[in-house]
Amino acid sequence: MALTVKIGDVYGLTYVASVATNWSATLKVRNRHGVVRKYTYRESAATSDRTAQSRTTERIAEDGEIVGFAAATGTVVAVKRGQFYMNVFVLGDSSSGDVEVNVAKGYVYAGKSLALGDSVEPGPGGGEGFLLTFTGANPAAGAYPSDAVPTNAKWRLRSYTIVLVTLATSASNRAFDLIANDGDTANRLAFHRNSNTQGASLTRTWMYQRGMDAQSVATITNSADGVTVLGSANLPPEGIILSEAAILKLVDDSGASVALQVDDNFAAPIIQVEEWLVL
């Protein structure tokens, strides 16, 4: 089926990226005389803050048929799957700007360009994402850690690790659960308990991982690096899918002898996720 365009139509695209790489996207249109004209967008550095970016300045110069399209990232940064998503279209020349042609949509990354007719939905349904390990927000003393999924992103949580230093305010045991909600505290999406406890004047590393057997303090204290780890096996093997604005945080476990004390101090968590950018 021919994809026809008219003079005055707008060749446009929207993309979202987490890497400042160079890229280009070229549409080929053949007129009734058989002459092919190219329309191109390109950038030396993509906007990498995960905000949606639109380009709608290229107008079709004459009636014709779309005969090709290709979008690719360059070599400034080696882009991984999930880090750069693009949707390409042709808008009509009316003031409404209705979409006349869906050209292509999908992830663009090193070794994989976007071609005419490609149609990959954003998110985990279309394939693997980008493995991202990052440091979350550092809470103040006496405060609980909390991190939000960025706008235009989806996460599959793989692991969550955080260090807690307890002072001598209370000798009673602290215990914490990892939860997620959709941005509204009442709308809980996931709950993952760690059955360990931590008393006063201790430094412990709390871990929530997929497929890891729960370990006792006595077992892991003797690890080679000398770190005392409080492990949990409560994350499912497939991870947890979280959409934009979802909140990932720790709360007191109902079995704790005492809540987090004002002088207790969490470090910034180390969080590993599989990330997809979405539009």
Q: Summarize pLDDT for 21-54 with one digit per residue, the tens.
A: 999 999 999 999 999 999 999 999 999 999 999 9
**Nearest-5° angle of CA 244, CA 249, CA 254?**
140
The Cβ of residue 160 has, within 10 Å, a number of other Cβ atoms equal to 26
Looking at this protein, which amino acid is placed at residue 123? Answer: G
- C-alpha dist (Å) from residue 201 to 29, 73, 164, 170, 263: 71, 51, 10, 9, 10
Residue 194 pLDDT > 90, yes or no?
no
The two beta strands, 203-209 and 229-230, are parallel
Look up residue 142 and give its two tokens.
């006496």
Domain chopping of the chain, boundaries: 4-120, 130-277
Q: Please give the class, per CATH, of domain 130-277.
A: mainly beta
Compute the chain's Rg from CA coordinates: 25
- Residue 267 CB burial class (10 angstroms; 0-12, 13-18, ≥19): middle
Mean pLDDT of 246-265: 87
Give the model confidence (pLDDT) of 207-224 as tens digits.
Answer: 888 865 554 444 455 444
Read off the pTM. Answer: 0.88
Residue 155 pLDDT > 60, yes or no?
yes
Mean pLDDT of 149-154: 96
We find that the CATH architecture of domain 4-120 is: Sandwich (2.60)
**Nearest-5° angle of CA 264, CA 193, CA 173?**
35
Straight-line distance from the first to the last Cα atom of the chain, in angstroms, rounded to the nearest whole number = 27
